[in-house]
Structure 1
Amino acid sequence: MVGQDSGRTRKVRHCIRDFVRIVSETLPVPEPVYEFGALQVPGQEEFADLRPLFPGKRYVGCDMRQGPGVDVVADLHDLTLESGCAGTVIVMETLEHVEFPWKAMEGVHRLLRDGGLLVISSVMNFPIHAHPNDYWRFTPEAFRSLMRDFPVAHADFAGDDEFPHTVVGVARKSTEPLPPEFFAALEQWKRRWYYRDGNWRRDLKRTLLLFVPPIVRMVLPRRLARALWR
């Protein structure tokens, strides 16, 4: 998970925790639950510990380093766990730190038994944060590509349509569709966290731009128009 201890990080963390809560309440979550990137960085225990969202379920925290929240030391690049050992795999705000995410997802697919559930997230509009390295920023389309081996998959985002702060994905290793209750809760989640990226300057510029006559906006140089809109 993201390692910076800042106000913006806390907001994104709470956004992710809220998303995982929705998954736990609207989708069947087969056991055991394996979380990769489970290390709880000091100062983030309040919102980084996802175990309480799955009461009564066998939960295995995995990370490259030993520490709080970690039961098994494991590398997503070289997963030696038994095939089909996981009912659910959770990878929250971790894939941007994985140098070869496609290889990692192949390993995750192997770990999941038939009917298993995958839950992933990553940041997009977010500062570079090395823990230990920061390689990627994913669009929803990139998440769909990462989940291409799953019969059922859905990728979405929170924040601005053109530059979201968070990208999420859910996939099933079965043909059973995701239920309407999940999508209804997901839409509410997106509305709750739309303005939570802290980019108030951009929102102010866009509001002021609405008062500029259309004919003036049409003659603005393209580069200036893009700068005002961002």
Structure 2
Amino acid sequence: MRDSVKEFVSDVIETVPLKEPIYEFGSYLVPEQIELANLRSLFPGKEYIGCDMRGGPGVDRILNLHNIDLPPATAGTVLCLDTLEHVEYPRKAMEEIHRILKPGGIVIISSVMNYPIHDFPFDYWRFTPEA
């Protein structure tokens, strides 16, 4: 995660009332970013569920963005921060996020452009006008 993304999330929290539960997709905390990427402290007292395709630090539920094992209209807020470049089929992931989002729910997304390739576990996409 980049500093600017954490600042962006902080700014959103200050201006938009987020609904619960809050699901973060791509919540696995890589060792060199545990302090920076851990967003839980930004949501005190909120139901916050960290999700990733593998278990580990920061992960409460193992879920695949291509087929999210949650009922429709489950999530009040979805965070997908610097994660879509690691998803093989981002369009399918967005359809799934839309499916699990409650009516009036909020999705907060960021994606990298000018950032080194980083395989966690793979780096598939950069979102350009042609992509």
TM range (shorter): over 0.9
Secondary structure, aligned partner of 1:70: coil
- Provide the alpha-carbon RMSD of the alignment: 1.5
Match in the other structure for 1:28: 17
Match in the other structure for 2:52: 63
Please tell me the residue identity of whatever aligns with 1:89: V
Match in the other structure for 2:114: 125
Q: Distance in 2 between matches of 1:17 and 1:57?
A: 17
Query: Shift in Å at residue 87 of structure 1?
Result: 0.1
Please tell me the residue identity of whatever aligns with 2:80: V
Counterpart selection for 2:127 from 124, 135, 138:
138
Structure 1 or 2: more helix by fraction: 1
1:114 aligns with 2:103: yes
Normalising by structure 2, report the TM-score. Answer: 0.95
Counterpart selection for 1:105 from 83, 94, 117:
94
Counterpart selection for 1:49 from 38, 44, 48:
38
User: Structure 2 regions of 5+ residues with no counterpart?
Assistant: none
Task: Report % sequence identity.
Answer: 58
Tell which has more relative contact order, 1 or 2 (C-alpha 8 A, sep 6+): 2
**Which ranges of 4 or more aligned residues in structure 1 deviate by more than 3 Å?**
none
Q: Distance in 2 between matches of 1:53 and 1:38?
A: 14
Normalising by structure 1, report the TM-score. Answer: 0.55
Could you say which structure has the larger radius of gyration? 1
